Amino acid sequence: MRGADPRPVTLGSVSSPTSRRVALLTLGCARNEVDSEELAGRLTAGGWELVDAEQDAEDADVIVVNTCGFVESAKKDSVDTLLAAADTGAKVVAVGCMAERYGSELAASMPEADAVLGFDHYPDLAERLDDIVAGRTVESHTPVDRRTLLPITPVQRPTAAADVAVPGHGWGPRVLRTRLDSAPVAPLKIASGCDRRCSFCAIPSFRGAFVSRHPDEILAEAAWLAEQGVRELFLVSENSTSYGKDLGRELGGADALQHLLPRLAAVPGIARVRVSYLQPAETRPGLVRAIATTPGVADYFDLSFQHSSESVLRRMRRFGSTDSFLELIGRIRSLAPAAGVRTNVIVGFPGETEADLAELERFLTEARMDAVGVFGYSDEEGTEAAGLADKLDEDTIAERVARVSALVEQLTADRAEERVGEEVVVLVEQAETEDTDCVGRAAHQAPEVDGECVLTDADGLAVGSLVRGVVTAAEGVDLVVRPVEVVLEAPARPAAVSAGGTR
């Protein structure tokens, strides 16, 4: 049942609603999840009560939908979620990447949304929701190319960034974040934006130029997450290999990430640190060594290859080749033979020939990666690739996606089979019940995007504990693991977990 209609209370000349309940729904990537928890922190600090978005949405006065605007399917999912939220009778506010990218255009096409707010609204979101519930008009966001808001030269950005709203940045010593679930793993943002100009990607235009967070700010948030019962930190950004290039030599410069990793791994209560979103052309030997050999850092390499044919990569405005990528993977495995390696690839890019596709298949076959996401190319408005010639028709792209997906399914299953007999350390994320298995992830498995481990004989294993075990079987990319010993007991959980939701 929906809460009572808000009744304005006059405080001087300002009217504020008496009922201030808000639900958060999150779509898209782990970066959006962090942004939602920042918004939750800002809203609770502003006097709003969080309600569970999945179970109690009808009790909310406002539903805030953190949208994704990356590809067409994500945009459709965002629109569908906004429409479903409107059906509850609550006020509906769109934020996130789709809202930032389209702003007033989205607002005009979707009257069901009471407001479409961009990143510049985040610092004052509690006040804007007060306005919306009280019936005051809030002007929707007007999009700009956010790359133009910061200096071109990275080292000039830290000072200028203080005047630009960048989600997850500039909190200072106080952690402005409220957890929306009790999972033992949490994303931790180390940077925002991207300076690369991949011809198929629109993200930099609405996420902005690359900006690193200060190491002390990241470490403070890591310590806070550990206090909330988090065991694994999942470091996220648009491009983690650029971390530190704008911080100056005194903070490590371009090598800042390899210096930050051991400091994060040493945070009391944190058992594992995982790095995501690595660009192969920027993955330097020192960073490879740090990820592969630092105790407490998962030997896991999330490498954005996208393709391996040199001609396709050049049209993508990227660098590399099959042989250079295989050499990088070889260096990784020389340091950590059991390291996890995953990637995403785009097939059907404009001008892709059968020879290009065969080159990609050669790379995938020889690379022996643990997980590969396969995506068919589609035009994304505002990108260079949308104007390229030699477009492939939809049927050809679909056929190539099916062909490469079948190959990947077999290759990743074979790679999982190779792990039978290996010893792994599993972070338990779901305890065993009468209806569910005990499930967790090993070092080579990231949340949601990779496979998982099913632990047998797992009675008594608690969420958040780390268990050493032996792989006894593989089922596709998933592993069956027999526990040997608990190497770290589950942490004490916080007394209460804030309400919220993701999708």
Residue in 111, 116, 227, 208 with CA at minimum distance from that of residue 168: 208
Q: What is the dihedral of CA 311, 315, 317, 320, to 10 degrees?
A: -10
234 to 173, 445, 447: CA distances (angstroms): 21, 11, 8
- How far apart are alpha carbons 111 and 133 in whole angstroms? 16
Q: According to the annotation, is 438 in a ligand binding site?
A: no
DSSP string, 134-198: TT---PPP----GGGGS-SSGGGHHHHGGGS--TT---TTS-----SS--SEEEEE-EE------
Residue in 270, 358, 259 with CA at minimum distance from that of residue 307: 358
Q: According to the annotation, is 97 in a ligand binding site?
A: yes
Q: According to the annotation, is 68 in a ligand binding site?
A: yes
Q: Which residue has the tokens 């809460």?
A: 3
Q: Which residue has the tokens 């605007």?
A: 69
Q: According to the annotation, is 198 in a ligand binding site?
A: yes
Q: Please say whether the beta carbons of 339 and 300 come within 8 A.
A: yes
- Would you give the distance in Å from CA 261 to the centre of its chain? 18
Q: Please say whether the beta carbons of 46 and 172 come within 8 A.
A: no
DSSP-based three-state secondary structure for 109: helix
DSSP-based three-state secondary structure for 27: coil
Compute φ and ψ for 452, nearest 5 degrees. Answer: -140, 170
59 to 54, 85, 307: CA distances (angstroms): 11, 12, 47
DSSP-based three-state secondary structure for 30: helix
Of the CA atoms within 13 Å of residue 489, those in its CB half-sphere come to: 4
What's at 155, amino acid-wise?
Answer: V
What's at 213, amino acid-wise?
Answer: R
| Beta-strand relationship, 21-26 and 62-67 | parallel
Compute φ and ψ for 278, nearest 5 degrees. Answer: -100, 135
Of the CA atoms within 13 Å of residue 141, those in its CB half-sphere come to: 28
- How far apart are alpha carbons 136 and 120 in whole angstroms? 19
Q: Which residue has the tokens 């020389």?
A: 334
Q: Which residues are annotated as a binding site?
A: 29, 68, 97, 194, 198, 201
Q: Which residues are annotated as a binding site for [4Fe-4S] cluster?
A: 29, 68, 97, 194, 198, 201
